[in-house]
Amino acid sequence: MSVDNGMSRRAMLVKLGVLLNAIVGVFLAVPIVRYLLSPVIRERQVGYESWLSLGALEQFPAGQTRLAIYRNPVVNAWDGETGDIACWVRNVDDQKFQVFAINCAHLGCPVRWFAQSNLFMCPCHGGAYYQDGSRASGPPERGLFEYRYKIEDGKLLIRAGEMPTPGQPVANKAGGKTTCA
């Protein structure tokens, strides 16, 4: 066996070693990436949203807009109070309701309801909305996010579970009406 052959054999073994590590690397990368992406691929077909109750209808008198609080359907034991989410419930006429997300459609700050002027106002960048959730003024490009709702056994149920954000197709489907006040 010549020296040259020995060198090439060792170079070959180095390459083999690198190849083995590359294969194992790919093999390990798949579960790592899957693990990192779990918030996105987590049974996406079902999604994060589900129907949950905001309580008896009597809590929401006709013609008024009231704050309601629900426990998010997807929570961990250590989430503490961050799992409690607020929303605004507007009882239009006992037949029709509107349930608005607490998050401003601009950048997600908590909007406050002012019953005297029938406006929602945002403390962050000055967005304002009419009582039906449509945009009144300020930087928001659209109206407040609306939850889908239904009434069952005298209780108000909404479909919720995910923080609404401007880029979300679900949120845009439900809300964003440009009705005039």
Burial label, 51 (beta-carbon count in 10 A; 0-12, 13-18, 19+):
middle
Among 3, 46, 80, 152, binds another protein (CB under 8 A): 80
Stretch that binds another protein, among 6-14, 17-25, 131-139, 146-154 (CB under 8 A): 131-139
Least spacing, CB of residue 37 vs another protein, in Å: 7
Among 66, 139, 174, 177, binds another protein (CB under 8 A): 139
d(CA 49, CA 65) in angstroms, rounded, equals: 24
Least spacing, CB of residue 142 vs another protein, in Å: 9
Least spacing, CB of residue 30 vs another protein, in Å: 18
Is 118 one of the binding residues for another protein (CB under 8 A)?
yes
Cα–Cα distances in angstroms (integers) from residue 162 to residues 24, 119, 181, in the given order: 37, 25, 28
Is 57 one of the binding residues for another protein (CB under 8 A)?
no
Residue 108: other Cβ atoms inside 10 A: 17
Is 85 one of the binding residues for another protein (CB under 8 A)?
yes
Residue 75: other Cβ atoms inside 10 A: 14
d(CA 87, CA 173) in angstroms, rounded, equals: 18
Tokens (6 digits) for 44: 């996406």
Stretch that binds another protein, among 27-35, 56-64, 126-134, 147-155 (CB under 8 A): 126-134
Element (H, E) at 112: strand 112-114
Residues 6+ apart with CB under 8 A from 158: 51, 52, 54, 70, 87, 99, 147, 148, 149
Is 55 one of the binding residues for another protein (CB under 8 A)?
no
Among 56, 67, 94, 155, binds another protein (CB under 8 A): 67
**Residue numbers at the binding site for another protein (CB under 8 A):** 36-37, 39-40, 48-49, 67, 69, 72, 74-76, 78-86, 102-103, 106-112, 114, 116-119, 121-126, 128, 130, 136-141, 161-163, 165-169, 181
